[in-house]
Structure 1
Amino acid sequence: MGIVVIGDVFIDVKGYSTAPFIPGGRNAGEIQQIHGGVGRNVVEDIANIELKPTFVSLVDDDAMGEEVIRKLDRHKVDTRFMRKVPNGMGTWLAVFDQDGDVVASISKRPDHRPIEQILEECGDEIFQNADSVVIEIDIDKEIVKKTFHYAEKYGKKVYALVSNMTIAMERRDFLRKTACFVCNQQEAGILFSEDYDGLSPEEMAECLTKRIQSAHIPKMVVTMGSEGAAYADQEGNHGVYPAKKVDVVDTTGAGDAFFAGVCVGLTYGKTLREACAIGTRLSSTVICTSDNICPRFMPEEFGLDR
C-alpha cells in the first residue's frame, strides 16, 4: 500500500503581484486557482517518485472534487479511501509579492468528521499493509487518536507535519509518538515557546538537540528557508543540510515537498541527513514553478530501498 497520507485537500486561490507590492494599495498582477492542501501536496510529491502512496481524505461532492481525484489517479495515488462530501475541501486565499513570498492569506478549513468514519470502517485495511503513515498533526484530535491507535496496533511509523501550529500545540503528547516531526523555524519557536529569529542553522541544530531531548520527540527537522534545514535526533546526532540555490517563483508547497522527501527517505532506509537531502532536492524543484508541481523521479535516483 506504500506510504499512507492522512490530510486535507484545499483549493488555492493565489494572486501574484507583477510589480513591487504595495500593502493596502491596488496591485496589478495575475490570479490562479489550483489544487492544494498540505496532505494533497505531500501525497502528490510522494507519487512523483513513483512510490504509489495511499490518500485518506475528502473532496467536495461536485465537479471540482471529481477533478482532484482524477488528477491524483493519474499520478498513481491510491484514492480508494477518499470520499466526496459537502464541505470536503478547504480554501486558501493568498497574495504574493514580486519575490514570490506570501504577504497575506486567509484559510477556510474543511469538515474533517467523515475522515474519522473512514478510519472506523477501513482502518485495519489501510494500516496493516502501509509502509509508513503521514498525518497533518493539527487535524481533528479524534482522527489523530485513531491514527496512532492503528499505527501502534500494526507497528507502523508515523511522520507528522503541521499546517496550523497553534492547533498542533494541543497535540504535543502525540509528537512523542512520531518517528519524525518536521516544521519551520517559526513553528518550532511556537512549539518550544522561544524566539528563534536570528539563529544560524548551526545554532538552530544545537538548540534543537536539547529541546527534543526534554520534549521526548524522537527526531525533528526544522526548515529555515534559503538557509537550509536543521535536524536532530534523540541519540544526539544533529546537523544542517544546506538549501539549493535556485530562482524562486513561488515558495508555496516547498515545505510540503521537503517533508515528503524526508518521509520517503526515512521510510525506505535513509539516515536523517540523507532524508533531508531528498527533501531539499524535491523542494528546490517546486519553488521554481508557479503551479508548485514536483517533477517525476524514479526511486533509484535517490537510492531508495523499497
Structure 2
Amino acid sequence: MLTEREEQIVELLRRDPLIGTDALAAALGTSRASVNVHLSNLGKKGVILGRGYVLAEQPSAVVIGGANVDFKARSTSPATPKTSNPGHGSMTPGGVGRNIAENIARLGDRVHLISVVGRDPMGENLLDHTAASGVRVEHVVRTDRSTGTYTAVLDADGELIVAIADMEATTELGPEQLDDARDVITNAGVLVVDGNLGLDTLDYALDLSHGVRTVFEPVSVPKAMGLKNAIDHRVDVITPNRDELAALTDAPTRTDRQVRSAARVLHDRGVETVWVRLGERGSLLSTADDQVEIAAVPTEVEDVTGAGDAMLGAFCHVLLASGTSEEAARFGHAAAALTIASAHTVRPDLTPRLVRAALSKETST
C-alpha cells in the first residue's frame, strides 16, 4: 500500500514522466534526498520500472453488476405510513455495481464497468456521468429496455424506510456480453460481481475469473437466495449483511455467535474472507484463521444510501494496493462514514487522502 507522499509522487510522474528529482522536491516542498528515498521505495514496490520513472501499469478492477438511476424521496419529519408526507426528492446515478465502480475510480484506480443501460435519455445521462467520474464504460451494453431504477423512501433522519428496485434491464447481460470483455476480466486485479446478475451470467463470470481475486456482493436477501449455490469454491470474498448471510447459508444469524458460525459455513464452502456488515456496530471480518470485529467510524447521518457501495469500493482500492483484508475493511468503514455524512450516493470529492483523514481522526479519538 502506498503512503500519502508516494501517491503524490506517482501523480506528478503521471503528469510528467521526465520530471527530475529537483523538480519533484520543489513541487512537494521537500528535499531531493527525501524524494530519492521515496523513489527507491516505489521501485521496490514495483510502481516504477528502471530509469526514466516509467510507471508500472497497475492492475485494474472490474465490476460486473447493476447500473440504474436512483430516485430518492426524503420526509422532512418522521414519516407517517399509509399517507402523504411532505418532503423532497432527487434523481442521481446509481446501481450497486456502478456505484462501487465510481467509488473505485474516485479513489484513483483504473476500473471497468460491465453492465446494461437503456437507449433512453436516462441511460445516456448515466453513462456520461459514470465515464466523467473515471470509470471505463466500453463494456456497458445498450438495450431497448428502459434503464433500471431504484426508488428509495427515506425518513427524516436519512434512514431507509423502503426501496423498490427495477433491474429488468440487467437481464440483458448474459454470457455473450461477458465474452466480449473476456480479456478485461481475466487480467483484472480484483473482480466484483453483484447479486443483480442472472445465474447463468454469474456462473460464466466466475468461470472466467479463475485465478482473479473475486468479490461477491449479494445486494439483497432474495438475490442472495437465488445465487447461493453458484459461489462454492469460486469466490474469494463475500460481503453480506446479517440477513443476506442467513440466506446464503440457511443458518440463523440473530446473535453474534450465530453470525460467526454462519460465516464459518461459507469458509467450509471455499470462501476465503466473509465480511459481514452489522450496521451501526461496524462489521465482522471473518477468515478461516481469525474473526475480527471492526467498529464503524462515527459520523453524522445525512443519507445512508450508497454507504455499503463506498465501503466495498474502498475495500477494493486497498486490495489493489496489496493491502490486507483488515486494512481494507477499516478503510472501507471510513469511506462509508464520509458517504453517510454526505447527501451524495457517491461523494464527488472522495479521495484516498480524505478517507485516510477520516480514519486517522477515528484512530486518535
Q: TM-score, normalised by structure 1?
A: 0.89
Summarize deviations over 1:10-40 as a string: whole Å, max 9, x none: 1111110111111112211011111111011
3-state SS of paired residue (1:296): coil
Alignment partner, residue 10 of structure 1: 68
CA distance in 2, matches of 1:191, 1:52: 31
Q: Give the C-alpha shift of residue 301 in structure 1.
A: 7.2
Q: Equivalent residue of 2:243, what SS?
A: helix
Distance 1:128 1:106 in 2: 33
Give the Å deviation of 1:113: 4.4
Residue type at the aligned position of 1:288: A
**Mapped pair 1:277 → 2:317:** no
Checking the alignment, whether the CA contact within 8 Å between 1:138 and 1:171 is kept in structure 2 is no
Post-superposition offset of 1:296: 2.6
Query: Is 1:209–1:238's contact at 8 Å kept on the other side of the alignment?
Result: no
Alignment of 1:219 with 2:273, yes or no, is: yes
Question: Among residues 50, 69, 72, which one is paired with 2:127 in the alignment?
Answer: 69
SS in 1 for 2:115: strand
Please list, as runs of the form range in 1=range in 2, the aligned pairs for 1:121-270 lying within 5 A after superposition: 122-152=180-210, 155-176=211-232, 177-197=234-254, 199-200=255-256, 203=257, 206-234=260-288, 236-270=289-323
Does residue 119 of structure 1 match 2:189? Answer: no
Q: 1:128 to 1:196 in 2, by over 3 A?
A: closer
Structure-1 separation of matches of 2:322 and 2:353: 12
**Aligned partner of residue 196 in structure 1, secondary structure:** coil
Give the whole-Å Cα distance in 1 for the aligned partners of 2:268 and 2:131. 42
What corresponds to 1:43 in structure 2? 101
More helix by share: 2
Identity across matched positions, percent:
22
Contact 1:137 / 1:162 at 8 angstroms: preserved in 2?
Answer: yes
Shift of 1:204: 6.2
- SS at 2:168 equivalent: coil
1:66-105 pair list within 5 angstroms: 66-87=124-145, 89-105=147-163
Which residue of the other structure, out of 341, 345, 360, is the alignment partner of 1:288? 341
Give the AA of the match of 1:274: E
Q: CA deviation at 1:63?
A: 2.2
Structure 2 unaligned blocks of 5 or more: 1-58, 357-365
Q: Please tell me the residue identity of whatever aligns with 1:178.
A: V
2:52 alignment counterpart: none
SS of 1:21's equivalent in the other structure is coil
Q: CA deviation at 1:9?
A: 0.9
Greater Rg over alpha carbons, structure = 2
- Is 1:24 aligned with 2:78? no
